[in-house]
């Protein structure tokens, strides 16, 4: 790939290139998270404020990635920053129970009453791993069903059918026997999904699913799909687990479950819930969660041993999470109507722009989340996304970044924050128009 905008990018990011050459000497591929790499090398961030990232070369970017979609109030909102400075003085890691964790849990429970009980961990990968363990403990069954393209973190059990080609192993070092208890179902195809589930129903411990496919590329559910899975699970004595790590507190203060009318047995939260600090939360039905009660079940045979970890419920994360949720509660109307409106504006505007230029494009999304797909077909699942023109999407995102100071993590979904404004969406649309007209990118595809 050699585009003009890449020349421009390299010209503007000399210090990042220098840092990247140091990074590859200490990190495989120069990164600690695979998706953070993009060609020719990622820019190195030196600061972030509101909607903006600054890099080490002094470039500014309007951020549509927003810390893996976690930063609903923007980067470093004052209310969180001040509280973290105070908390740091008063203890970074107590290593013990503390009041602020109780407050955060009670706040979540009030907003999401199905979170009758919960456990805090430090990452989403841990929360989904514990969800599955608890489902197996509860049902005495072994099989976990997940969506093709569904992303639930890097834990071993759920590293199946994540990346295209989905039928192949997710890389080296995963023992096949460990994957034998995962069944994958096609997102948004209820009949085909139920057919698969039917074949394993006697040993089906749970279905775990994102309400909107996130990592796979922003695919909302069609009416009835999630409800159909839930119905099957409940009838079958399997648990229905909703992975709301991305959607919780983003699509609504009460989660995607409230939007889609779902009643999961267990669900996972993360990202927004920690106010930008490391968190994963497993929540749900009291009876099920009680299988993990180390007091009532002191014998190891009767306990489902799920962790929290050294950093679980640490006062920094608890404080950042609590203040973020309190802000969202107090400004609910303002925040969600704004970010949803900006999301609609982006989806509508981009759809119109590409249609007018004769470029087959679909803009998927829900609320404040959106992503463009260059495809003649309707995008309904992870396979459709894998079959869309991903190279073009990458180039489009790189062009936005290099020539217009607009940052999408290339090929990844965008999530808007309360710090974004209408003017930002207008700039995104203008920049996109300019790329369509000026560059040769879309010429071949149109």
Question: Can you tell me which of 186, 211, 214, 276 binds a copy of itself, judged by CB under 8 A?
Answer: 276
Q: Which of residues 376-395 bind a copy of itself (CB under 8 A)?
A: none
Q: Which of residues 416-435 bind a copy of itself (CB under 8 A)?
A: none
**Cβ distance to a copy of itself smaller for residue 226 or 306:** 306
Neighbours of 244 (CB within 10 A): 28
**Cβ distance to a copy of itself smaller for residue 48 or 353:** 48
Tell me: does residue 410 bind a copy of itself (CB under 8 A).
Answer: no
Applying CB under 8 A, the site for a copy of itself has a residue count of 128
Tell me: does residue 58 bind a copy of itself (CB under 8 A).
Answer: no
Q: Which of residues 352-371 bind a copy of itself (CB under 8 A)?
A: none
Question: Can you tell me which of 198, 202, 293, 430 binds a copy of itself, judged by CB under 8 A?
Answer: 293
**Cβ distance to a copy of itself smaller for residue 34 or 333:** 34
Q: End-to-end alpha-carbon separation of the chain, Å?
A: 19
User: What own/partner pairs with CB < 8 Å and gap ≥ 24 does 361-367 have?
Assistant: 364/217, 364/218, 364/219, 364/220, 365/218, 365/220, 365/413, 366/212, 366/218, 366/220, 366/251, 367/250, 367/251, 367/252, 367/336, 367/339, 367/340, 367/343
Q: Which of residues 120-179 bind a copy of itself (CB under 8 A)?
A: 120-126, 129-130, 132-138, 142, 153-157, 159, 163, 168-175, 177-178
Q: Which residues of 179-200 are buried (b: 16+ CB within 10 A; e: fewer)?
A: bebbbbbbbbbbeebbebbeeb
Q: Which of residues 88-127 bind a copy of itself (CB under 8 A)?
A: 88-99, 101-102, 105-106, 109, 117-126
**Cβ distance to a copy of itself smaller for residue 146 or 436:** 146
- The least CB distance from residue 32 to a copy of itself, in Å, is 4
Q: If you write DSSP's letter for every residue of 259-287 in order, what string do you get? A: HHT---SEEEEEGGGGTTSS-EEEEE-HH
Q: Which of residues 8-37 bind a copy of itself (CB under 8 A)?
A: 19-20, 22-23, 25-34, 36-37
CA distance 408 to 261: 31
- The least CB distance from residue 299 to a copy of itself, in Å, is 9
Q: List residues bridging with 282 in a β-sheet.
A: 119, 268
Q: Assign residue 76 a region (left: φ > 0; alpha: ψ between -120 and 50; beta: otherwise).
A: left
- The least CB distance from residue 378 to a copy of itself, in Å, is 26
Cα 396–Cα 151–Cα 368 angle in degrees, nearest 5? 55
Question: Can you tell me which of 313, 353, 382, 400 binds a copy of itself, judged by CB under 8 A?
Answer: 313
Q: Which of residues 184-243 bind a copy of itself (CB under 8 A)?
A: none
Tell me: does residue 49 bind a copy of itself (CB under 8 A).
Answer: yes
User: Quick one: which of 384, 356, 347, 379 has its CA closest to 442?
Assistant: 356
CA distance 385 to 204: 28
Alpha-carbon distance values, 181 to 151, 163, 177, 259, 387 (Å): 17, 18, 8, 31, 27
- Binding mask 238-267 vs a copy of itself (x if CB under 8 A, - otherwise)? ------------------------------
| 242, two tokens | 């909703």
**Cβ distance to a copy of itself smaller for residue 102 or 192:** 102
Label residue 138 exposed, middle or buried (CB < 10 Å: 0-12, 13-18, 19+): buried
Question: Can you tell me which of 60, 294, 355, 377 binds a copy of itself, judged by CB under 8 A?
Answer: 294
Q: Which of residues 320-349 bind a copy of itself (CB under 8 A)?
A: 320
CA distance 392 to 171: 25
Question: Can you tell me which of 149, 186, 217, 270 binds a copy of itself, judged by CB under 8 A?
Answer: 270
**Cβ distance to a copy of itself smaller for residue 48 or 207:** 48
**Cβ distance to a copy of itself smaller for residue 312 or 362:** 312
């Amino acid at each position: 790939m050699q585009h003009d905008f890449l020349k421009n990018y390299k010209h503007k990011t000399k210090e990042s290139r220098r840092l990247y050459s140091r990074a590859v000497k200490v990190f495989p591929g120069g990164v600690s998270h695979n998706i953070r790499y993009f060609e020719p090398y990622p820019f190195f961030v030196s600061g972030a404020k509101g909607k903006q990232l600054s890099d080490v070369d002094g470039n500014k970017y309007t951020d549509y990635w927003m810390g893996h979609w976690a930063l609903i109030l923007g980067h470093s909102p004052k209310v969180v920053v001040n509280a973290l400075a105070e908390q740091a003085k008063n203890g970074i890691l107590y290593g013990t129970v503390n009041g602020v964790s109780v407050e955060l849990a009670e706040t979540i429970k009030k907003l999401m009453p199905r979170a009758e009980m919960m456990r805090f961990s430090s990452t989403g990968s841990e929360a989904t791993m514990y969800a599955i363990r608890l489902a197996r403990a509860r049902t005495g069954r072994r099989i976990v069903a997940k969506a093709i393209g569904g992303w639930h973190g890097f834990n071993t059990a759920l590293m199946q059918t994540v990346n295209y080609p989905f039928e192949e192993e997710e890389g080296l070092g995963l023992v096949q026997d460990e994957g034998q208890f995962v069944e994958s179902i096609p997102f948004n195809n209820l009949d085909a999904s139920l057919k698969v589930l039917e074949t394993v129903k006697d040993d089906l411990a749970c279905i775990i699913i994102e309400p909107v496919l996130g990592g796979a590329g922003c695919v909302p559910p069609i009416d009835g799909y999630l409800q159909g899975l839930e119905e099957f699970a409940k009838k079958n004595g399997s648990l229905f687990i909703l992975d709301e790590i991305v959607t919780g507190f983003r699509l609504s203060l009460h989660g995607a479950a409230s939007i889609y009318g779902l009643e999961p047995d267990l669900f996972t939260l993360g990202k927004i819930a920690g106010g930008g600090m490391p968190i994963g939360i497993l929540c749900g039905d009291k009876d099920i969660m009680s299988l993990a009660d180390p007091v009532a079940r002191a014998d190891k045979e009767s306990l489902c041993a799920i962790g929290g970890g050294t950093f679980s419920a640490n006062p920094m994360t608890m404080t950042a999470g609590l203040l973020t949720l309190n802000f969202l509660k107090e400004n609910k109307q303002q925040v969600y109507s704004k970010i949803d409106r900006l999301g609609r504006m982006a989806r509508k505007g981009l759809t119109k722009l590409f249609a007018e230029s004769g470029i087959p494009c679909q803009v998927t999304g829900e609320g404040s989340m959106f992503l463009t797909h260059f495809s003649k077909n309707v995008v309904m699942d992870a396979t459709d996304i894998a079959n869309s023109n991903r190279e073009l999407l990458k180039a489009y995102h790189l062009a936005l970044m290099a020539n217009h100071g607009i940052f999408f993590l290339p090929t990844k979904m965008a999530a808007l924050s309360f710090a974004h404004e209408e003017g930002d969406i207008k700039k995104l649309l203008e920049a996109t128009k300019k790329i369509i007209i000026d560059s040769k990118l879309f010429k071949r595809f149109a």
